Amino acid sequence: MRMVLFLRGVTEEAVFSILAGLQALYDKYKDRDFVILGFPCNQDGDIAYPTSKFGGQEPKDDEAIGEFCVRNHGVSFPLMKKSDVNGDSTNEVFKWLKNEKAGLLGLTRIKWNFEKFLVDKEGKVAHRWASTTTPEHIDAEVAKIL
């Protein structure tokens, strides 16, 4: 079984160095049963979670997102189809991830772009990181678990 880092990300956000750092992380560990799965999101949000709008920062279609990430950031880790991560239409993967590992103050909703979850080789959600967590910090945790 592989260790998987699930990423809720966008291409329009100004934090492009995160994608480069995540690509470096993927390159470092991909031959050791580690993979990053990117999930673009352009969710409109809902009344219950008005902060889950994410600024409409992912208007491109799936093909254009992939092309943009490869061309501008050299991304080679898999990118999934655009998915909702909060509310009634939440992708099943994110329902499970959020249920297994709540965020700060026990909140389950995804608060912003580049929130990350690490699932270990046994299928346990080992970590959940906020948008501000750097790939370098994640590298240290991946190294411990691998």
pLDDT tens profile 82-102: 888 888 888 999 999 999 988
For residue 102, the model assigns a pLDDT of: 80
Whole-prediction pTM: 0.84
pLDDT of residue 65: 83
73: which residues sit within 8 A by CB, 6+ positions away?
16, 19, 20, 23
> How confident is the model over 25-80, as pLDDT tens digits?
999 999 999 999 988 887 765 545 555 555 666 778 889 888 888 888 888 999 99
Distance between CA atoms of residues 94 and 74, nearest Å: 25
What pLDDT, on a 0 to 100 scale, did the predictor assign at position 14? 46
80 alpha carbon, distance to own chain's centre: 10
| pLDDT value of position 16 | 62
Task: Single out the residue of 61, 51, 56 nearest to residue 13, CA to CA.
Answer: 56
User: 7 pLDDT exceeds 90?
Assistant: no
Residue whose tokens read 């240290």: 140
Q: Please write the tens of the pLDDT for every residue from 105-138.
A: 777 777 777 889 999 999 999 999 988 888 999 9
The residue from 42, 72, 99, 113 that is catalytic is: 72
Measured CA to CA in angstroms, residue 96 lies from 27, 88, 100, 119 at distances of 27, 14, 6, 11
CB 128, CB 107: distance < 8 Å: no
Q: What is the C-alpha separation between 120 and 47, in angstroms, rounded?
A: 34
Describe the strand order of the beta sheet including 125-129 as a list of residue ranges. 34-40, 3-9, 115-119, 125-129
Q: What CATH class does 3-145 carry?
A: alpha beta
Any bridge partners for residue 129, and if so which? 116
113 part of the active site: no
Instruction: Report which of residues 145 and 15 the model is more confident about.
Output: 145
